[in-house]
Amino acid sequence: MQRSHIFGSAFIITVILHVMDAIAARKMRLSELPKGQRAVIEEHDQSDFKLTLMEMGCIPGEPIWIEMIAPMGDPMAIQIAGYYLSIRKADADKIWVSVSDKQL
């Protein structure tokens, strides 16, 4: 009986690891998000610009999407907290988002 209990625990751990991998696979940098794809801000990389981004509304849990991208790819206009924010790609690279299934 003990043996089946051990295998049951191993199965549960395997399932949990697969779910965690699936969640991590849907996490990406804002700079990688395609135009029109909705996402939610998860976290920021540590930087001097982190506080500024948060003051502009880029706080964890906030819905966000790419509205426009300049012809050369930099800067990009994002929709966040009810307004448009123009942000450099290097700064967008410091914001981690989780992708939503919804697209505009």
Rounded mean pLDDT, 78-90:
89
Convert the pLDDT of each residue in 15-45 to its tens digit.
666 556 555 557 888 888 888 888 998 888 8
| Six token digits for residue 97 | 């988002």
Flag whether the pTM goes above 0.75: no
**Euclidean distance between CA atoms 50 and 48, whole angstroms:** 6
Report domain extents, the chain: 28-103
Out of 42-51, 59-68, 84-93, which region has the weakest mean confidence (pLDDT)?
A: 42-51
Task: Determine the distance from the C-alpha atom of residue 99 to the mean position of all C-alpha atoms in its chain, rounded to a whole number.
Answer: 6
Distance CA 23, CA 6 (A): 26
Q: What is the pLDDT of residue 32?
A: 87
Per CATH, the number for 28-103 is 2.30.30.90
Measured CA to CA in angstroms, residue 40 lies from 64, 70, 95, 98 at distances of 6, 22, 10, 5
